[in-house]
Structure 1
Amino acid sequence: MIKTSYFFLVLFLLLKFFLHFQMVDPAYDYDLHRDEFLHLDQANHLAAGYLSVPPFTAFLSLLIKWLGGGVFWVRFFPALFGALTMLIIWKLVELLKGGEYARGLAAFVFICSAMSRINMLYQPNSFDVLSWTLAFYLLLRYIKEEKPYLLLWLGAVIGIGFLNKYNILFLVMALIPALLISSHRKIFLNKYLYGGLLIALFLALPNVIWQFRNGLPVIHHMKELASTQLVNVERSGFIAEQLLFFMFGTIVWGAALVGFVRYAPFKPYRFVGWTFLFVMALFVSMRAKPYYALGIYPVLIAFGSVYWSQILAGKEGAHLWLKRLGLCLITLPFFLLYDILFPVKKPRLWTSGPLPREAFAKWEDGKVHSLPQDFADMLGWRELAGLVAQTYEKVPASERKNTLILCDNYGQAGAINYYAGGKVSPAITFSADYVYWFPAMDTLHYLIIVGEEPREYVRKYASAYAKTGQISDSLAREYGTGVYLVQGINPIFLKKLRQWQLEEQASFRAWK
């Protein structure tokens, strides 16, 4: 029985990996994602913290760089974290004494959901979900086995999760009241819990020190996020998307909430249900992006799968038919919508035909567009890098060391550094972490501007400029982004640039 169980586990893990290497087809003009370029570039600027994310992703990017930096490895790690999350769900089902059907049901619900979309991109989200899931697994094992050392491991997981994404703090904030109102409140008298807390603080300390030394830029980041993106999030929309993330799989994780009330073996674990409610209350109150809550679902999938397997246990006739119907309802919509949910066909084919764009193509600006935002953020980057490289070739070879590539945003700078790295000087921008990464220069004669036409603050310090090209893909989020070669830079401009850089850095500080 055990061998059979792990045979199916290996099959599910292989399926998970296989799907993720099919989900983005570079033959159909898709490049890496805007955010992926920023995370990969952090490997060239290692630090204890960044404006956008904590440092875990940067060190993972360094590993990717050592492995060659190819797209395969960029895709590999989020897929790996997704597979490990599914492995922990499998172990959770085993911990709850779920059978083969429960394990298979949980695996299918996890794969055929928004989790696959999360695991598609190289962002901190995949490891964030893994951290939440592993934290629940260790806590549930502690409650079941009462082995104190598990609380030390729990602290380590929360500490590493913090270094990946601050989002895990919302789990901690929800767990505290959930445990306090449960029969497990005595856990707060356990010295190993505080040992785990010390481990978490020790791991988080370098980033906490970095935050304070740099004026707590996380506060500025959260304010900017709230004013530009979260303001467009409707609370009703947040709740609605929670139901859409898993399609028919919602009936599985939803069954966990019913099970906490009605199923006696789940009584010791009711705090998980309370944690879910507290997490939702926190995110709804702050108008969070819907995917912030994804980390809470793997544990609910495990509980829900076990509860459904108990409901359908017993008589083989109708119950066997219901089991098969349940698996079909979970898997069929996912594969029927596969080429809509993932960039596996030409972008212009995605835009053809009747599609519920409100559900799939609503961007962070609150508007409905032709493509999903993630898809549009994966178009035009190689073209841009090629245009910049061609423009760079127009600069006399002796002057290239005195040439700077200045971009409007981090996506442009990161894409140029990834696709044209080594062929041109490093691209910079006043956006995101790049504001700290300006190269040291004594002389500046040429400037390559990427984005909008050079503005007055550039033109007044230059003798001439010319447009050399622009992104031509109308479906790209960066459609129309231009490349301009600016000549005859006044020496004063370099001093001004340094001044503006310091001013921009100061703007990220919570205090001056």
Structure 2
Amino acid sequence: MSGRPYLLLIFFLLFKLTFNYWAIYAGYDLHRDEYLHLDQANHLAAGYLSVPPFTAFISLLIKGLGGGMHWVRFFPALFGALTMLIVWKTVELLKGGWYAQLIAGLLFLCSALSRINTLFQPNSADILFWTLMLYLLMRYVKEGNSRLLLWLGLTTGIAFLNKYNVLFLVAGLLPALLISSQRKIFLDKYLYGGLLIAFLLALPNVIWQIQNGMPVIHHMHELAETQLVNVERMGFVKDQLGIFLIGTLIWLAGLLALIWYPSFYPYRFIGWTFLLVMALFIYLKAKGYYAYGIYPVLLAFGGVYWERLLSKGGLRYLRPVWVVLIIFPMAWLFRLIFPVLSPQQLHAAMTPLKREIFCRWEDGKLHELPQDFADMRGWRDLSDLAVKAYQQVPDSERKNTLILCDNYGQAGAINYYAGKTLSPAITFSADYLFWFPKMDSLHYLIVVGDEPMKYVRKYTSGYTKTGQINYVLAREYGTGVYLAEGILSDFSAKLQKWQLEEQARLRAWK
């Protein structure tokens, strides 16, 4: 690689690595999910209720680097940059030139994938692993190097440890390869060596799931009842068409070119995989971003195909048109897709139509801000309020004090910002069910969320409200902090009993 393509790649990678640091308004905190993932570093295990363990080990690395917000944002940006690098290499594999790399890279940047790469969640790594798996298969098809199947197995195993979503790609790939001209792959012994590697990597997490009663089944059932029930199948399809805006015509052309463009014939299994994965997701009424990992490779196909279309005669003078068509819509919508405005400015910019498009949350209702943005406000303030309540506890009693929260976002944020000075914050939500500290003697209780419920009030002599989140555009608006004292001696035992009951509820079998 030399000359113009090399400089383009350097530009795209540097831009991708730095984008997250200036595309987020300084007044935003981390996202509620990020606090949970970061807290997993303090409770390393082979599995978790919410995600497999890969993210926890990245959180441990972040913790080792100091745990600062800049490191939290670095890793999803890194995963995005690596995905872009694989797209670049895929264009090279397809013998595309600098123009194909340019529009594929621009389209990756000017899409919903860039928004995904601003959050420390398993999704950025999921997209990276999907892209790498498909790239390795394409290299195997072209080069016939069986050892690539061992690397495929390694990637698949790590992808499983990152997010179970990769099983949908596997479910699409296997029949796609069987019905394509590449079915000979099943006669290659290295494929089964790769499958063995993937199995061995996944095994500790599978054992954890079995030992804990397969809580992933409960998690999926709860997800279907509370979130996916609000997803319409046509809504999923519309979301796919909106990921790249006008650039949809690029990846769609690449997908269709697998049918009639001779150079793409060996890779037709990619097209079958796309159709089968999409059929699965539509049937299951999945969230739109579950399918994002299938697109980066299609950007490479689309870029190469459009480069060939615009390479003859006067058509080459139309090449700048695609650059404009990719950049302009993203520039127009940039302030709504990325949190570059203050919440007040973003709220003021919302018209009824924009609110309908951007502010419908997973509960199916319209709100004042996009859900992810509302999930990034109020957490520092909440932590400060918890510290304020904790300071009202006598020094001698702080070791006998517990912070009980309504949800994992609250507990994670308090532990992230003030974990070194406070007792651990816990909740009956998500993975915290397994993280209760042993506390035989409990004299004070700080309750975060709604006013203490009856099951708490009956075990205290009284409580006072010490603060509340008053920021109306935060998802935690109205969340209160309460200091309860005079805790009855049997409350610790009751708390442990409720914890075990909730754990049992998560088991697919009793």
Paired letter, 1:46: L
State which of 319, 334, 346 in structure 1 corresponds to 2:316. 319
In structure 1, distance between residues paired with 2:331 and 2:341: 14
State which of 484, 500, 503 in structure 2 corresponds to 1:502. 500
Deviations 1:13-57 (A, max 9, x none): 11112222112122xx21000000000000000000000000000
In structure 2, distance between residues paired with 1:432 and 1:481: 19
- Bigger Cα displacement from structure 2, 197-206 vs 256-265: 256-265
> Residues 129 and 159 of structure 2 are in contact (CA less than 8 Å); yes or no, is this contact kept in structure 1?
yes
Partner residue in 1 for 2:333: 337
- Equivalent positions of 1:415-434 (< 5 A) are 415-434=413-432
Q: Secondary structure at the match of 1:370?
A: coil
- Equivalent positions of 1:362-401 (< 5 A) are 362-401=360-399
Paired letter, 1:344: V
In structure 2, distance between residues paired with 1:359 and 1:153: 41
Deviations 1:329-372 (A, max 9, x none): 10111122211111111101111132511211110001111100
Partner residue in 2 for 1:231: 229
In structure 2, distance between residues paired with 1:293 and 1:497: 40
Deviation at 1:3? 3.8
- Equivalent positions of 1:94-493 (< 5 A) are 94-315=92-313, 317-320=314-317, 322-353=318-349, 354=351, 356-493=354-491
In structure 2, distance between residues paired with 1:4 and 1:22: 26
Partner residue in 2 for 1:40: 38
Identity percentage of aligned residues: 66
Which of structure 1's runs of 4+ aligned residues deviate more than 6 A? none
In structure 2, distance between residues paired with 1:180 and 1:258: 20
Deviation at 1:163? 0.3
Deviations 1:366-400 (A, max 9, x none): 11111000000000000000000000000000000
In structure 1, distance between residues paired with 2:426 and 2:9: 45
Deviations 1:150-191 (A, max 9, x none): 000000000000000000000000001111110111111111
Q: Secondary structure at the match of 1:74?
A: helix
| TM-score, structure 1 as length reference | 0.98
Q: Secondary structure at the match of 2:490?
A: helix
Paired letter, 2:288: P
Q: Secondary structure at the match of 1:352?
A: helix
Paired letter, 2:437: P
Deviation at 1:101? 0.2
Q: Secondary structure at the match of 1:339?
A: helix
In structure 2, distance between residues paired with 1:241 and 1:189: 38
- Bigger Cα displacement from structure 2, 98-107 vs 355-364: 355-364
Deviation at 1:318? 4.1
In structure 2, distance between residues paired with 1:351 and 1:42: 33
Partner residue in 2 for 1:511: 509
Paired letter, 1:40: L
Gaps of 5+ in 1: none
Deviations 1:295-354 (A, max 9, x none): 000010010110010111111x3432x211111010111122211111111101111132
Partner residue in 2 for 1:25: 25
Q: Secondary structure at the match of 1:337?
A: helix
Q: Tell me if 1:7 matches 2:1.
A: no
In structure 2, distance between residues paired with 1:258 and 1:225: 34
Q: Secondary structure at the match of 1:485?
A: strand
Deviations 1:57-103 (A, max 9, x none): 00110000000000010000000000000000000000000011000
Q: Secondary structure at the match of 1:394?
A: coil
Deviations 1:115-157 (A, max 9, x none): 0010000000000000000001100000000000000000000
In structure 1, distance between residues paired with 2:215 and 2:154: 25
In structure 2, distance between residues paired with 1:362 and 1:449: 30
> Residues 4 and 98 of structure 2 are in contact (CA less than 8 Å); yes or no, is this contact kept in structure 1?
no
Count of matched residue positions in the alignment of Structure 1 and Structure 2? 508
Paired letter, 2:13: L
> Residues 443 and 485 of structure 2 are in contact (CA less than 8 Å); yes or no, is this contact kept in structure 1?
yes
Q: Secondary structure at the match of 1:484?
A: strand
In structure 2, distance between residues paired with 1:48 and 1:15: 35
Q: Secondary structure at the match of 2:22?
A: coil
Q: Secondary structure at the match of 1:450?
A: strand
- Equivalent positions of 1:43-62 (< 5 A) are 43-62=41-60
Deviation at 1:442? 1.4
